[in-house]
Amino acid sequence: MKPALLPALALALGCAATAGAFPIAPRPQKPAALPGLGDSPWAGLLEVRLPSQTDLALLQRFEQPRIERQGEWRAFYQGRFGPATWTAPPMLSWTLSAWQPTKREGSALELVMIPAREIVGPELGSAELLPSWRLEAPPRVDAAFVSASRTPRCQPWQRPYSVTLARYGGERDTFELLECDGSVALDALDRLSVAARPAGADRPDLPLPLEPMAESEALGEWVPNVRLLDPRLLWVVARISEAFPARPIYLISGYRRDGHDSLHKKGRALDLFVMGVSNEAVMKLCRTLKDVGCGFYPHNKFIHVDVRPPGTGHAVWVDVSEPGQPSRYVDSWPGIVESGALSWGNGE
């Protein structure tokens, strides 16, 4: 090294030591001469040492952590629950039965099954941030931590859907037909069946008994003159009422004990009209309902609706007979059906 460069080198090393770039070794009592300097006065200033291995930890601080830090996968792999720890004892087995290897004299390694025990987490109230899993017997249920509450199906601002039905003699009944979630209301089928009883039959008390009366069950009835209707008729009446809200539905005929083998006798048909709404409009709505029979009677005040087996489609017919006359069907009617109505003219 040229003697002219020694002052500059000494000045640089002194500034670096003052700034704390790397530690300076203690000055020995008798400094050893450095090669090439001999007894030069600059030799003492060059008695520096590189950082030891323990000092290298200071170099692991990041200037750009998002770039220089180890990736998320490496942190997970080497973490407390990462795959790097899976080979360390004890190994966690997810089999249904625990096992331990045994060795017998003169025999190969065997696997002996022992009863499995449930893997459970830390107890309630544990202060651990990360759970430590352990094998132990299944815990008993503590009644203090078990509670049951009924979740409301409807929001506070929702209301069950109600309908008003009227029939002969000025009898009217307004009740909830469907809940706000679409399910059938508790006593809707009973009240609809009572409203659909034959004309002149006494009105039974509600709610109906839980079991049919013995003398009525033989006739297919629940109580005298009341047969429980097919629940799908609730859906049909609900669709009609939703299409014409706040309009009472007048039942002309429902269950007929002497209806031979018709759908009325089976409790699957209603003759009705909606007050203040034309039968043409109700018939148009009926034809949109799947597997529902719709009968139009131009010279009568009502239309017919019934429920049929799945896959029936849209059953439609037109009966142009006058009140009290035998049925007379036609293949079409203006505004109702263009053609094909005779294929469904079955007198029901």
Q: Decide if pLDDT at 108 tops 70.
A: no
Contact 294, 283 (CB under 8 A): yes
Predicted confidence at residue 16, as pLDDT, reads: 47
Predicted confidence at residue 93, as pLDDT, reads: 52
What gap in Å lies between CA 163 and CA 195, rounded to an integer? 12
Contact 216, 222 (CB under 8 A): yes
**Using N-to-C axis directions, what is the helix angle for 232-243 and 188-195, rounded to 10°?**
80
State the pLDDT confidence band at 201, using cuts at 50, 70 and 90: very high
Structure tokens at 231: 């629940």
Task: Give 247's DSSP letter.
Answer: -
Q: Decide if pLDDT at 228 tops 90.
A: yes
Predicted confidence at residue 17, as pLDDT, reads: 47
DSSP string of 271-288, one letter each residue:
EEEETTS-HHHHHHHHTT
Structure tokens at 143: 């009644």
Structure tokens at 68: 């220089």
Predicted confidence at residue 279, as pLDDT, reads: 96
Give which of 178, 181, 232, 170 is closest to 203, Cα–Cα: 170
Q: What is the mean pLDDT of residues 240-256?
A: 94
Q: What is the mean pLDDT of residues 315-338?
A: 91
Q: Among 48-52, 132-136, 218-222, whose mean pLDDT is lowest?
A: 48-52
| H or E segment and range at residue 16 | helix 6-19
Contact 33, 43 (CB under 8 A): yes
What gap in Å lies between CA 135 and CA 117, rounded to an integer? 6
Structure tokens at 60: 């692991």
What gap in Å lies between CA 24 and CA 10, rounded to an integer? 13
What gap in Å lies between CA 87 and CA 78, rounded to an integer? 12
| 97 dihedral zone (left: phi>0; alpha: psi -120 to 50; beta) | beta
User: What's the chain's average pLDDT?
Assistant: 74
Query: Which residue type sits at 120?
Result: V
Predicted confidence at residue 312, as pLDDT, reads: 84
Q: What is the mean pLDDT of residues 284-295?
A: 94
Predicted confidence at residue 202, as pLDDT, reads: 94
Chain centroid to CA 6: 80
pLDDT tens digits for range 212-222: 999 999 899 99
Predicted confidence at residue 116, as pLDDT, reads: 47
Residues 6+ positions from 246 with CB-CB distance below 8 Å: none
The 3-state DSSP class for residue 295 equals: strand
State the pLDDT confidence band at 45, using cuts at 50, 70 and 90: very low
Residues 6+ positions from 13 with CB-CB distance below 8 Å: 45, 46, 48
Q: Decide if pLDDT at 344 tops 50.
A: yes
State the pLDDT confidence band at 143, using cuts at 50, 70 and 90: low
State the pLDDT confidence band at 194, using cuts at 50, 70 and 90: very high
Give me the residue label for tokens 């966690």.
92
